[in-house]
Structure 1
Amino acid sequence: MAALERMPALEVLDFQDALPLSPGAGTSDSLPDRLIDLAQLAYLAIASTVPECVNLVRRISIPASTRIYLSCSGTEATGNDFSGIMKIISNPRGASYHAEDNVGMPERKTIRVLHVQHEAPVSLVVHGWTNPLLPSEAHVRTTMPDIQLNLSWHYSPQTKVDVIATTICKAIPIAHLRSLRLSHVTGITKRTWTNTFGFLPKLHSVHIAGESARTFIAALREEVSMEAQVSPGGMLGVKRPGLRRRRSAVPAVNFPHLKSLTIEDASFEEHAPVSNPFDNLQNCLMERSERKADIQELHLRECSHLYEENVDRLREIVAEVDWDEVEQGFSDDESVYGYDDMGGYIFGGYNYEYSLRLPMFRCR
């Protein structure tokens, strides 16, 4: 910490398993004695255990523009709790910042594109970008993320991946999220979909891979009462004398502004407890059209038990249906997620390995 205090103009900080805690030390809820302001930091990279990561991030203050890479492994004590490290993202000014100390709210990242990938069985990869998708990046992001989290934990039968994923997503500033991609995050319920993402006002593109596509379709079908919708600016329930309430232009559905939906690696096979999965999708699309919340683009990738006549029925409802024409069950081919021949990590088939040519401090 003393070394960091002598480098206020630091632009890159890279710690790789170099944050040992002193014997008997641990993370504490009490505020640190001092907060180190790294006002020029452009890139922060930390790879360590959760307690060691927390011990550092709670002691530093960084700009909201700083790119963040955190690779954190849980211990037996921390389990699957990553809330301590998320504070550097939800409040980059540090753990000791209080709103009353300054005028206005603290600077925060504005994440507009979010990818979440479950790496079975005990790890989660999260990428977030502050800038929206380019037309050339309609479905897969190829640029360097502003936030990259590689989280792993000790396996336990009580571990619920969906709980970990949604807790992380809620800690990330996603109020202005436009594009969401969740890959093979199992166990997400309809209620989790609606409570975490259902009311986001700018979300127009969703890509779901895996079995959670079924519960997402159920969330899309659910009708929402007008009273349940959150008013802009926190004005819900506030009455102004002399003003008449206008009918909301927002459709009474979850994900009201969703226009593009991609379903990947999902099964449309009928089996208990889910019956008629294709009919559920077709009815969902029809119902949203009737409620003036049309899905305008539907992309179907590597889905099983989906046939040409099914897709033809969907084309009668959706303006643009893009299907890969795969008429088969699940593929045994290896996934594109993993490691390439050069040892770089690949997320969704794209390698995010990069180098920054900035003054940096690296400690290993």
Structure 2
Amino acid sequence: MRALWTRQNRFSPISSIPPEILGAIFVHHAQQMRSLYSPDTPAFLSWLIVGHICRHWREVALGTPELWATPFLNSSQATEEMLLRSKMAPLNLRTGLRYCVVSVQRLTVLGIKELSPECLPTLDELISVLRCMPALHTLELEDALPTLPPQTTSLPCTPRALNVQLPHLKRLLLAAKILEVANVLARVELPDSTMLEVQLRCSAFSSMNPNQEWNLSLPIISRALESCFKATPAKSRRVPRTLRLHTFTYNMLVQYSTVWNPSWVPDYFPDSQWTVVLYFDSEISTAILSDLWRLVPFNNLEALYIEGFFTCWDGFWTDFLGHGAARNLANIYLQGTRRLFEDLFTSLRSQRHSLARSAVGCSQQGQIFAPALSHLALDSVEFDTSFWSFRRVSDLFDVLVDRANEGRGLDHLTITRCTGITTHDVRLLREVVANLDWDEDDATG
């Protein structure tokens, strides 16, 4: 009997519709049903009835991948079956938090990355959603922050009493244009916690001078740093013990850690150990660094790593570590520009015992620069043999003799991938350094 009905249906007018057009009709009908009803109502899937009308319609439905390209996410079994039937058709995934409001209040980890412009929330919408998530301990928003108009020249000022409170927050990552990061950061009240880890990745805001952007963002970023560090830390406060400055391509990386491990090497730094991580466009690096020295206390800094083509200024080391700052600094790793290398040698001199040629601003009266320095690592540094340069090996030797005469000699010197230095030079340096590692030792025999 069923076979007879099938043969009769072939002669009905509707059976003359080409399968491609019939499939398009099914897709349009399914889209209408999904737009009219919410996923938690039975009518949301009422379009499935098209596959139960007759054998021909079922074959057309199963042969139309686009019909199944919007999986029903409320059921894992239905989702799996729809994904199989959709074959290689582009998927259309839709979900929303309005179906799990109760669960949102218990959410502890929220990570959103690379939202399309039409999906970006407004600042008020974002803050409103975060208020519903008081249990969050990890918040990561990458290219998912509210945007600002291109002509923005100031950030809105909102009373701190209206900021969102995230008392359990342990990790915060915001990545966007610098003003957009500051705009969101201003509305998030960071907890007074010894477990807080902050990572900010900031790109330039195209319509404004980079230094202007930084000046607008500075008060907000400084408040975030205060949540991690204090100039006069209490017992419950953490202080930075390790600082890393790294430039690569067009960006600058600034990392602070409250711990220091002598086994750390620049080729491998454990990401989990950094308390504050800041990414900035290198074109505003000088302005940023000048302000960060004032914002972050370096009194307990023990290790400093500088890598890449780092931009410095005259008197950089004196501004950074002079005037009694960083008296606990014991380790310096330097892979930098000629200017940075030369300025370090100039700053390390002692006026009292210097054997070297005089240099403007080369010493500090009454104080010895970085008195606790015991380990110095020079990587990919170019020594210069010209008389007018202060990057000669003899200058390094004079510095080491100066410090030894002050009772501040180095315990360990590492020289790696450096040019302009010979076996004779290394033999001379070993006379004033307890331990010297040179990567050419094996090659020279």
Name the TM-score, length of structure 1 as normaliser. Answer: 0.70
1:147 pairs, out of 276, 280, 290, with: 276
Match of 2:394 in 1: 279
Residue 113 of structure 1 contacts residue 129 of structure 1 at CA under 8 Å; is this kept in 2? yes
- Matched residues in 2 for 1:262 and 1:299: separation? 5
- Structure having greater relative contact order (Cα 8 Å, sep ≥ 6): 1
1:90 pairs, out of 225, 230, 233, with: 225
* Structure in which a larger fraction of residues adopt helix: 2
Distance of aligned partners of 1:273 and 1:38 in 2 relative to their CA distance in 1, 3 Å threshold: farther
TM-superposed CA distance for 1:51, in Å, is: 0.8
TM-superposed CA distance for 1:92, in Å, is: 2.2
Residue 382 of structure 2 contacts residue 419 of structure 2 at CA under 8 Å; is this kept in 1? yes
Listed as ranges, the gaps of 5+ residues in structure 1 are 94-103, 227-251, 329-364
* Equivalent position SS for 1:150: strand
1:136 pairs, out of 263, 272, 292, with: 263
Distance of aligned partners of 1:139 and 1:124 in 2 relative to their CA distance in 1, 3 Å threshold: closer
Residue 19 of structure 1 contacts residue 52 of structure 1 at CA under 8 Å; is this kept in 2? yes
1:70 pairs, out of 176, 180, 200, with: 200
Match of 1:336 in 2: none
Distance of aligned partners of 1:168 and 1:194 in 2 relative to their CA distance in 1, 3 Å threshold: same
TM-superposed CA distance for 1:142, in Å, is: 3.0
Match of 2:104 in 1: none
1:225 pairs, out of 345, 365, 370, with: 365
Letter in 2 for 1:203: L
TM-superposed CA distance for 1:270, in Å, is: 2.6
1:171 partnered with 2:295: yes
- Matched residues in 1 for 2:130 and 2:371: separation? 46
Residue 67 of structure 1 contacts residue 146 of structure 1 at CA under 8 Å; is this kept in 2? yes
Q: Show CA shifts across 1:159-185 (max 9, x none).
A: 6x4443343344334331110011134
Letter in 2 for 1:257: A
Match of 2:304 in 1: 180
Match of 2:341 in 1: 213
Distance of aligned partners of 1:298 and 1:191 in 2 relative to their CA distance in 1, 3 Å threshold: same
Q: Show CA shifts across 1:300-331 (max 9, x none).
A: 11111111110110000000101111899xxx
- Matched residues in 2 for 1:147 and 1:323: separation? 33
Match of 2:169 in 1: 41
Distance of aligned partners of 1:27 and 1:175 in 2 relative to their CA distance in 1, 3 Å threshold: farther
* Equivalent position SS for 2:227: coil
Distance of aligned partners of 1:186 and 1:132 in 2 relative to their CA distance in 1, 3 Å threshold: closer
1:293 pairs, out of 389, 400, 408, with: 408
Residue 114 of structure 1 contacts residue 177 of structure 1 at CA under 8 Å; is this kept in 2? yes
Residue 91 of structure 1 contacts residue 107 of structure 1 at CA under 8 Å; is this kept in 2? no
TM-superposed CA distance for 1:26, in Å, is: 5.8
Q: Show CA shifts across 1:55-89 (max 9, x none).
A: 11112122342112211102241504262553244
1:4 partnered with 2:126: no
- Matched residues in 2 for 1:205 and 1:311: separation? 20
Match of 2:61 in 1: none
State the structure with more CA Rg: 2
How many residues in Structure 1 have an aligned counterpart in Structure 2? 288
Letter in 2 for 1:115: R
Q: CA RMSD in A?
A: 3.1
Distance of aligned partners of 1:190 and 1:106 in 2 relative to their CA distance in 1, 3 Å threshold: farther
TM-superposed CA distance for 1:25, in Å, is: 5.8
Distance of aligned partners of 1:84 and 1:118 in 2 relative to their CA distance in 1, 3 Å threshold: farther
1:265 partnered with 2:380: yes
Residue 204 of structure 2 contacts residue 210 of structure 2 at CA under 8 Å; is this kept in 1? yes
* Structure in which a larger fraction of residues adopt strand: 1
Residue 341 of structure 2 contacts residue 391 of structure 2 at CA under 8 Å; is this kept in 1? no
Name the TM-score, length of structure 2 as normaliser. Answer: 0.58
* Equivalent position SS for 1:21: coil
Listed as ranges, the gaps of 5+ residues in structure 2 are 1-126, 351-362
Residue 214 of structure 1 contacts residue 277 of structure 1 at CA under 8 Å; is this kept in 2? no
Residue 245 of structure 2 contacts residue 253 of structure 2 at CA under 8 Å; is this kept in 1? yes
Distance of aligned partners of 1:138 and 1:17 in 2 relative to their CA distance in 1, 3 Å threshold: closer
- Matched residues in 2 for 1:276 and 1:180: separation? 20
Share of identical aligned residues, percent? 22
- Matched residues in 2 for 1:208 and 1:286: separation? 20
TM-superposed CA distance for 1:126, in Å, is: 1.6
Match of 1:115 in 2: 244
- Matched residues in 2 for 1:27 and 1:326: separation? 57
* Equivalent position SS for 2:289: helix
Q: Show CA shifts across 1:189-220 (max 9, x none).
A: 45221121232121110111122122111111
- Matched residues in 2 for 1:41 and 1:276: separation? 47
Letter in 2 for 1:193: W
